[in-house]
Amino acid sequence: MLITGGAGMIGSTIAHLSVAQGAQVTILDAMLPLYGGNRFNLRGILDDIQFVEGDIRDLNLMRRVVPGYDYIFNLAGQVSYVDSNTEPLLDLDINCKGHIQALEACRLENPQARLLFASSRFVYGRIEYNPVDENHPFNCLSIYGIHKLAGEKYYRFYHEAYGLNTVSVRIANPYGPRQQMKHSKYGILNWFVRLALEEKPLTVFGDGQQRRDYIFNADLAEACVALMLSPGTEGRVYNLGTGTGMPFIEMAAMVAEAVPGTEVRQVEWPQDRYFVETGDYLSDITRITAASGWQPKTSLQEGIRRTVNYYQEHQEEYW
Ligand SMILES: NC(=O)c1ccc[n+]([C@@H]2O[C@H](COP(=O)([O-])OP(=O)(O)OC[C@H]3O[C@@H](n4cnc5c(N)ncnc54)[C@H](O)[C@@H]3O)[C@@H](O)[C@H]2O)c1
């Protein structure tokens, strides 16, 4: 199998899982400094995999790399919705043009491959009802959400027009070991873990009652692999979360409990952040569980404990 963006949090977790299951794994990653690519994420499997440093926007490279793989996880991406609004053309370049190049390479060189695209809950933007099923309207509040929606549509188009075997997942709020911790523009849960380990307070806006669907990355990786192997899912899109909503303030309290001495501080909503607040989000995962048989396993408390332990042990590789 090939995993683009495989040195990042989700891709490397899929790589560890797949190597343990006996798969032959190649990772392609551009190792762009703003994102989560980190060779340490591949610790323990570097001798078992092939690693290609390269960019999905490079069509010639992609045409050379994609032949021969049965499964291609296309996880390469610009991941920050905040940056997507300040650097919309960069987001367009990676999340749209990059994925068209990846699809073109597959159409030309490996049309039999099964392809998975990592989309996001941000395609839904402002939430109208919960739990959110796949038919919820697209009220995108970020350029990132708009481009992820376009990405899904490219994958579907290549399925319908050229018969490529594609599937997309709309990922909720992932967290866990191997996420970058250099800046706070990715998942807030991991950022809270960093703050707690640095003995800084965790800031919660407003009453902190907004619900989120936090999914542990090991569960997420298992879901991606299970869906990849599930027949009848071609051309479709699936929500990927836990199906349970956790109030933000309770998540913060769990991080504080895992790192004793951490203070949780409540403050007013800043105006600029309020604009992108989507409202409660809770995935309806009926479709993915029915299609793949996968179920999330890790409780939020357990996942936070494992995340804290990981960064306590390997802080110098991520700070
Ligand atoms: N982390 C989240 O909150 C989240 C939520 C929903 C969806 N996703 C999506 O899941 C995918 C994986 O995210 P992640 O959390 O593992 O982030 P990550 O930053 O840890 O991994 C992304 C990887 O993609 C690589 N990359 C970026 N641009 C590239 C390019 N042009 N060519 C090749 N490699 C490139 C980066 O170097 C990085 O290693 C992304 O597409 C992301 O948009 C992430």
For the segment 72-85, what is each residue's pLDDT rounded down to a tens digit?
999 999 999 999 99
- Work out the percent of the chain whose per-residue pLDDT is above 90: 94
Which CATH number does the domain housing residue 144 bear? 3.40.50.720
Q: Is the pLDDT of residue 276 over 80?
A: no
Range of the domain at 116: 2-178+215-243+284-298
Count structural domains, the chain: 1
Task: Indicate whether 313 belongs to any domain.
Answer: no
Q: Is the pLDDT of residue 277 over 70?
A: no
Pairing of strands 246-247, 211-212: antiparallel
Ligand 1 pocket, mutate which of 14, 53, 75, 83 (most atoms under 8 A from CB): 75
Ligand 1 pocket, residue 55 CB under 6 Å: yes
CA of 290 to the centre of ligand 1 (A): 27
pTM of the model: 0.97
Query: What residues does 175 pair with on adjacent strands?
Result: 216
CA of 57 to the centre of ligand 1 (A): 14
3-class DSSP string for 241-256: CCCCCEEHHHHHHHHH
Kindly give the number of the ligand 1 atom that is closest to the alpha carbon of 171.
6
How confident is the model over 247-257, as a mean pLDDT? 97
Task: Indicate whether 88 belongs to any domain.
Answer: yes
Ligand 1 pocket, residue 175 CB under 6 Å: no
Question: 278 to each of 3, 140, 167, 313, how far by Cα in Å?
Answer: 30, 9, 25, 34
Contact between 255 and 196 under an 8 Å Cβ cutoff? The reply is yes
In this predicted structure, what is the pLDDT of residue 270? 77
CA of 8 to the centre of ligand 1 (A): 6
Task: Indicate whether 275 belongs to any domain.
Answer: no
Task: Indicate whether 251 belongs to any domain.
Answer: no
| Length of the chain, in residues | 319
Task: Indicate whether 254 belongs to any domain.
Answer: no
Compute the half-sphere exposure of residue 241: CA atoms within 13 Å on the CB side of its CA: 27
Q: What are phi and psi of 166, to 5 degrees?
A: -105, 160
CA of 5 to the centre of ligand 1 (A): 6
Ligand 1 pocket, residue 294 CB under 6 Å: no
Contact between 240 and 234 under an 8 Å Cβ cutoff? The reply is no
Structure tokens given for 248: 């933000």
Name every residue whose Cβ is closer than 8 Å to that of residue 139 and which is 6 or more positions away in sequence: 124, 125, 126, 127, 128
Task: Indicate whether 188 belongs to any domain.
Answer: no
3-class SS at 266? strand
| 112-139: pLDDT as tens digits | 999 999 999 999 999 999 999 999 999 9
Task: Indicate whether 156 belongs to any domain.
Answer: yes
CA of 263 to the centre of ligand 1 (A): 31
Ligand 1 pocket, residue 8 CB under 6 Å: yes
Q: Can you tell me the distance from the alpha carbon of 149 to that of 255, in angstroms, rounded to the nearest whole number?
A: 32
CA 10 centroid distance within chain: 6
Task: Indicate whether 303 belongs to any domain.
Answer: no
